[in-house]
Structure 1
């Protein structure tokens, strides 16, 4: 009969006895809220290898690298395969989840960053699903090329040069009450795009409502100007009549209304949990114990994959099963 190791003597290597690897900004370890204070017997029920890895990870600060390669470099007793098996077992035991979070990279681009959420206190699947379902999108993160901070030099702004007040002949004309609408400005630009469609101020005001109908259907002013000036005849006798007819005949179709912000129009922008074994993404509720369906049902080559825990999650009994299954070197 195998001897149960409940001594925390090998809980972890000396905490931070060597420089730990720091993840890129936005990545790495994230501690979950509501954990109890650390105790010497936090991971005493885990097998020796998992207890050793868990103790080291628990001492790491937020933002530390949590990839298998970085952890294996800091844990001399185990290689990458052993560390990967230990992380998988810690996910099954309820201590961690790998999560992909969308982050704004600027310029309308979205970057996916991988975080490992860690809990010293073992949590069940329902807790993890509720917690990860409420994780917001990550804040903006710099590109990988800009990870190193570059000191910024302070520059003195030139003092504004006072401008002389305009004389009576240079005084600007008073602006009309209310700023001109985008539709009015687009019509005014037609003459500059093509002189054959030069419109007067009165013509722009008369056609403004018809042009605004185009913008209300989702097109921008560039599209409006380009469409109205395309394929003009050699001569246009009446620019205002010609533009009025094109505004009526070429009116774009009415598109369906955009979905509400809370509609699932962009499901890929929500945080996704990664399977701790194969890395496949999915919703938190679809990866109980941090494992996808394929990794839960398939039998891998090693014997470190634990069975699905009981519904009630008797921690002592369940970890005892883990201990027997995770005793491979």
Structure 2
């Protein structure tokens, strides 16, 4: 099985499984397709993992078979953006369909899947269904006294002459907000990534406004961290001084907002990108017919021959039509 969020995903609109599935495919592709079709959702679909489970073929043969299955309309590899804000990451999935579909069907389905991913609501924080919302109270009896609201009012206790001891309290929290800002967290993580840049809490609070200026100009946290940690000397005597100087000297310019993308009408973010089954190049579904980019599609179509003979192509098509006629049930 793949990591959570990765692996195989079954596409809708599939016919019931029969013994004649994939019977028009060559032997190798039929062998790989039958194995993939019986894998559960979430199974690993990388060439390396499939080659470990299929002893008859190596990684190169499995990759070629997956390319053929993509052209035949059985699978599409995609990249899905999950999360929001600083937690956004890309996961890699393979949509599989036992029933072959053409490019128009796949483009429509992936567009629908992209729309559902973009408009997905925030994760529900309600407890799982197997956890009851509230444990029912036990029946009242001699062993179980009634609940507090049914118990009589307790009598007032006179004030004790000995003052109560003050419990040992934990140190008072910092005056800063309960949730640190992204700039503060980025500065605090520098010392954990590189011991030469260990900053104290006061240092992070002092440098936080300078780091916030970077983030206000559209700089990501990874870019900020790389700019502060690149090319460090062998020994850093004053980490706070070095970080302050880099935050001031390397402050990126503020880019003006373009007129083509006004703030009130932003371009929607595409959360699903189709990936070339052969080389892994990402793109929109319309730009990758048969799940292959243009160079890989041309290579797969011509099979290394840039000037195919039209006579040979016609002969191959006639031969395939004759085979389909012979395979039809009488």
TM-score of the pair, normalised by structure 1: 0.48
TM-score of the pair, normalised by structure 2: 0.48
